Chains A and B, each alone.
Chain A
Amino acid sequence: MNVLNTRASSAPLSADAGVSGGPARTRQGRASSAPLSFRRSGFGVAQVILFLSIAILVVVVAVPVLLIFFNAFWVDGKFNVRDVLRIIGEPDTWQALVNSLVIAAGTTIGSTIVGTFFAWLVTRTDLPCKRLMKGLFLVPFMLPSFIGALAWKMLLSPRAGFINRFFMLHFGLAGPIFNIYSYAGIMLVEVMYLFPFVFIQVCGALERMDPTLEESARISGAGLFTITRKITIPLVLPSILSGALLIMLYSMAHFGTVAVLGIENGIFNIPTLIYQRIHQSAGSFASIRTGTVLATVLVVTATFIIWLQGKILSRGHYQIIGGKSFRPMELKLRALRMPLFIFCVAWIGFTIVLPTTVIFLVGGLRTYGLSFTWENLSLDNYKFILFNYKVTRDAIWNSVTLGLSAALITMFAGVMISYVIVKMKVRGKGFLEFLGMLPFSVPGSVIALGVILAWSGKYGVNLYNTVWIILVAYIARYMAFSLRANSAALEQVHDSLVEAARVCGASMWQALRDIVLPLVRPGMLAAFFLIFLPALRELTASIMLYAPTTRTIGVAIYTLNEDGETVMSAALAGIALIIIVTGQLLVDRFVGNKAKGQG
């Protein structure tokens, strides 16, 4: 301590304004007499954060996934691959595997063609109202595809579908003109609602591509067709492929559309088969084992797809595509301009306007099957499900509270874990990163299955049939979203900002509170909405986990439809659409303005 006293008296500047009396001085005094305590307390914070981060990810993500593998391969205390192969070889399971692949392949090819074509139209041609069209092509992002599937079922089911009936009635056709309960029907509906994944990627690439690359080809004497074939397409190919793989990943593990349209004709894919087995047998051992084996196949395939995507994106093709926006060449469509425009408008009308209209109209009918006349339509169903019908009121309440809690918890956990991954120099953070991003390759139905294995009493905690098990599943499912948004925000916070606070006398906690948290708030907000909005319409995981009182909006729409309550199902779907679209528009507006304000 005496050293400090000499310091205080000999430092000419600290004499004024009572620096020597500050609390930091006392702390340093303590430090020199008990030197070890300092860095220890500094490390304490870091260790608490690190420990919590690992604990959260292990409990929420790693344990459920590991339990799936464990249950798939471990039979009667022994590692058993033959049994796994036997299960895969069973006709039903094998068929589901093949279906998943066939549907995913068809959907991917279709979506890629549609998405690339529309992207090219709105970026590189003189199509009328390009900006508006681009916005409209992104609308399917907002529409849950199982609601789309529901609408198409009402329009094109072989007997009762409005379009089929109309043709049979007025043109005397003996059978339906199109049966939506088929592979083609499922793929068609998936294409309608998934193609924006390719569309948005290719649009971005085409807009950012340096036009001089094409112009120099043109100066060298190449025609527009040659340029497109030899220059443009190779340059945007990585974007096309990456969007296509995203669709493949999504479609492989997609539950909603196949559940709504496939089960009627016995078309199952992996997620719907897992659901059906577990649902029918109320969680018997055999069904769970089949489920875990199928889930394993799904995870392995998904991991392979993600690996492939990373490989394609890292091949360096992107170097040619800069971040700046240029004004690219526009192809004059000439005589094709109006026909193509009409085609686009028809596509939007057919895929967005028609299905949503049908949903709202059916939701207004007194009984399903009546024609759309004024005396048959009313708002009674909407009033009923909003105010009087316990099932739907519960569902809306559950979805909103689940979405809010999952978003809040995941947002805070995400910012903490991202902090460890981005900012802390600790060993083992690569492991954290892996765990955090794992749910990207773990589909919703797999997470649900894992959560059932982990939280239904076998390991001391039984959340089965409660709303908590759905919450745990949501947190696991959306953690990766939160990590992405928060990591991006944290990477913007340069280390020197925190270090500057530390030399100003701030402890680790104070620096986090005063500097880091305020600066990552936009990222946290983004994470919140990235989770809240999808959680509102979540179906794949919830359907495996719901109990009679813990239905979510998605589950209620699906089960009402299954139970033949088509009008109620449609009315609830209509309300869900209103909530989702309003929410999305509010977020876009809010976040958009915010970005402008900062720029």
Chain B
Amino acid sequence: MEEIIRIEGVSKNYGNHRVHEELTLGVRRGECFTLLGPSGCGKTVLMRLIAGFEAPDSGKISIDGVVVSNPASGIDISPDARKIGMVFQDYAVWPHMTVFDNVAYPLKLAKKPQRELTDRVMETVALVGMSGLEKRLPSELSGGQQQRVALARALVARPALLLLDEPLTNLDANLREEMRFEIKELQRKLETTVLYVTHDQEVALAISDRMAVMDEHGHIRQTGTPWEIFEQPADPFVFSFMGIANFLPVRREGTAWLVGEGTQNIPWKSPADDTPLQAAGFRPSDVRIAPPEKGEGLRGIVRRASFLGAMMDYLIDVDGATLRTSIETHEALSGGLMFKEGEGCVVSFRNLFWFDAKSLSEVVK
């Protein structure tokens, strides 16, 4: 598929701080692509490089087949000429303009005739569900409504590319959930390419066609569909970034694989390679817990039992290694799985990933 954004070998430094080094990335036309990474990983810098607010130190960025940044040949097209739409984390809705004027601004700059301008603004305002509020000032709108204005303003000129910089961070949880589906819906309807930057893996999984996971140093660890990222994480970093992760250290003694510091054999298929120190990674939802007399698996002791309303949360010690799991309260009640602190239990796993224990150090502190 044709790539609408092409980033080739881009490096960016702020003084001695290296944000990006030889970064290469492509975003395909019409897809919703998410850059996911912890705060301070440089994902916003990357977006600003694409928008043209920053210039790379080296490397090449093209949008829609046009090279927009290439320091080697002195190309640096200013943001106003890149023809993209952008939504900022803090909305950046102009406080002195009404909703209508905010949304109309890109068309006014493009010197559209009045009729067409009005029609297009009203249409776009309706698209984001803000009809009837055109005459309001931003100070009379809620945060969610301001974000819709920002979205309408970014969409009104029908850019082929829309950049969204953590647009939902400042919204409350319910609104965030609602808006992310709306953004996805708009993207499908308008067939716009969306580049979305966030640190929230739920949003990323919900809206992306493809996504890239970045680490603190600005390196891309994995690129793929949400399913690939979630089900086939490339390394412990990606795995743990996609939700609460448990890692159980496993050591090899001869041909036997033993858990933690104890002598229990692993109840699963052995890892593919035979590095002596490995870690089994799994999510709390993949842990199955049973009373010691029933079920098979690893014997452990419940260290902490917390009642969280709908869920029971357990912290379990297995031979010096701890893991967390949670089960629905009603399931625990009906299945006789209400453990007290200090009680023994047996744990088994639905699904797990093997990682080299050495690569864990950067994830588990």
> Which residue of the partner chain, among B75, B81, B109, B153, contacts A500 with CB atoms under 8 Å?
B153
Indicate whether A23 reaches chain B with its CB closer than 8 angstroms: yes
- CA–CA, A31 and B157, complex, Å: 20
Chain B hits for A505, CB < 8 A: 80-81, 83, 106, 109-110, 157
Determine if B105 and A17 form an interchain contact, defined as CB atoms under 8 angstroms apart.
no
Chain B hits for A502, CB < 8 A: 52-53, 78-80
Provide the A526-538 mask, 1 if CB < 8 A to any CB of B, else 0: 0000000000000
Indicate whether A36 reaches chain B with its CB closer than 8 angstroms: yes
Chain A hits for B163, CB < 8 A: 503
Given contacts A13-B160, A19-B158, contact A42 B78 (CB under 8 A): yes
Question: B211-238: which residues lie under 8 A (CB-CB) from chain A?
Answer: none
Chain A hits for B65, CB < 8 A: 3, 6-7
Chain A hits for B160, CB < 8 A: 7, 11-14
Chain B hits for A3, CB < 8 A: 65-66
Chain A nearest CB, measured from B84 CB (Å): 6
> Which residue of the partner chain, among A25, A32, A42, A504, contacts B106 with CB atoms under 8 Å?
A504
Given contacts A494-B92, A499-B92, A502-B53, contact A14 B81 (CB under 8 A): no
Given contacts A24-B80, A35-B74, contact A503 B86 (CB under 8 A): yes
- CA–CA, A16 and B158, complex, Å: 8
Determine if B81 and A504 form an interchain contact, defined as CB atoms under 8 angstroms apart.
no
Determine if A31 and B81 form an interchain contact, defined as CB atoms under 8 angstroms apart.
yes
Determine if B53 and A499 form an interchain contact, defined as CB atoms under 8 angstroms apart.
yes
Question: B30-69: which residues lie under 8 A (CB-CB) from chain A?
Answer: 30, 51-53, 55, 64-67
Given contacts A4-B66, A36-B74, contact A10 B81 (CB under 8 A): no
Provide the B151-163 mask, 1 if CB < 8 A to any CB of A, else 0: 0011001111001
Indicate whether A373 reaches chain B with its CB closer than 8 angstroms: no
Question: B247-266: which residues lie under 8 A (CB-CB) from chain A?
Answer: none
Determine if B110 and A496 form an interchain contact, defined as CB atoms under 8 angstroms apart.
no
Chain A hits for B81, CB < 8 A: 24, 27-28, 31, 38, 505
- CA–CA, A39 and B106, complex, Å: 21
- CA–CA, A19 and B70, complex, Å: 25
Chain B hits for A494, CB < 8 A: 90, 92
Indicate whether B88 reaches chain A with its CB closer than 8 angstroms: yes
Indicate whether A90 reaches chain B with its CB closer than 8 angstroms: no
Across the interface, name the chain A residue whose C-beta is closest to B63.
A7
Chain A hits for B88, CB < 8 A: 496, 499-500
> Which residue of the partner chain, among A12, A19, A42, A510, contacts B157 with CB atoms under 8 Å?
A19
Q: By CB atoms of chain B within 10 A, which of A6, A32, A508 has the most?
A: A32
Indicate whether B17 reaches chain A with its CB closer than 8 angstroms: no
Q: What total of chain B residues lie within 8 Å of the partner, measured CB to CB? A: 54
Chain B hits for A518, CB < 8 A: 96
Chain A hits for B93, CB < 8 A: 500
Determine if A22 and B80 form an interchain contact, defined as CB atoms under 8 angstroms apart.
no
Q: By CB atoms of chain A within 10 A, which of B84, B96, B191 has the most?
A: B96
Chain A nearest CB, measured from B182 CB (Å): 18
Given contacts A23-B111, A500-B92, contact A11 B73 (CB under 8 A): no
Determine if A39 and B157 form an interchain contact, defined as CB atoms under 8 angstroms apart.
no
- CA–CA, A13 and B75, complex, Å: 26
Indicate whether B178 reaches chain A with its CB closer than 8 angstroms: no
Question: A204-229: which residues lie under 8 A (CB-CB) from chain B?
Answer: none
Indicate whether A437 reaches chain B with its CB closer than 8 angstroms: no
Across the interface, name the chain A residue whose C-beta is closest to B90.
A496
Indicate whether A401 reaches chain B with its CB closer than 8 angstroms: no
- CA–CA, A358 and B86, complex, Å: 66
Q: By CB atoms of chain A within 10 A, which of B53, B116, B154 has the most?
A: B53
Given contacts A13-B160, A502-B78, contact A32 B92 (CB under 8 A): no
Chain A hits for B74, CB < 8 A: 35-36
Interface size, A (range): 35 or more
Indicate whether A514 reaches chain B with its CB closer than 8 angstroms: yes
Chain B nearest CB, measured from A155 CB (Å): 52
Would you call the interface of chain A mostly helix, strand, loop, or mixed? helix
- CA–CA, A16 and B120, complex, Å: 11
Determine if B109 and A496 form an interchain contact, defined as CB atoms under 8 angstroms apart.
no
Determine if B94 and A11 form an interchain contact, defined as CB atoms under 8 angstroms apart.
no
Given contacts A35-B73, A38-B78, A505-B157, contact A510 B109 (CB under 8 A): yes
Chain B hits for A17, CB < 8 A: 112, 116, 120, 158
> Which residue of the partner chain, among B80, B84, B90, contacts A507 with CB atoms under 8 Å?
B80
Chain A hits for B52, CB < 8 A: 502
Provide the A514-530 mask, 1 if CB < 8 A to any CB of B, else 0: 11001100000000000
- CA–CA, A32 and B67, complex, Å: 8
Chain A hits for B89, CB < 8 A: 496
- CA–CA, A515 and B109, complex, Å: 13
Indicate whether B145 reaches chain A with its CB closer than 8 angstroms: no
- CA–CA, A25 and B157, complex, Å: 12
- CA–CA, A519 and B80, complex, Å: 21
Indicate whether B300 reaches chain A with its CB closer than 8 angstroms: no
Given contacts A22-B111, A28-B66, contact A12 B80 (CB under 8 A): no
- CA–CA, A165 and B121, complex, Å: 80
29 contacts between A and B (CB under 8 A): A11-B64, A16-B158, A19-B83, A19-B110, A24-B83, A27-B81, A31-B77, A32-B77, A35-B67, A35-B73, A35-B77, A38-B81, A494-B90, A496-B92, A499-B51, A499-B79, A499-B92, A500-B153, A502-B52, A502-B53, A502-B79, A503-B51, A504-B106, A505-B80, A505-B110, A506-B109, A507-B78, A519-B96, A598-B139
Chain B interface residues (CB < 8 Å from chain A): 2, 29-30, 51-53, 55, 64-67, 70, 73-86, 88-90, 92-96, 105-106, 109-112, 116, 120, 139, 150, 153-154, 157-160, 163, 190-192
Q: 18 extra interchain contacts, Cβ-Cβ under 8 A, other than A31-B77, A35-B75, A519-B95?
A: A4-B66, A17-B116, A24-B109, A27-B81, A28-B66, A28-B82, A32-B66, A39-B55, A496-B88, A499-B53, A500-B86, A500-B153, A502-B52, A503-B80, A503-B84, A505-B106, A505-B109, A505-B110
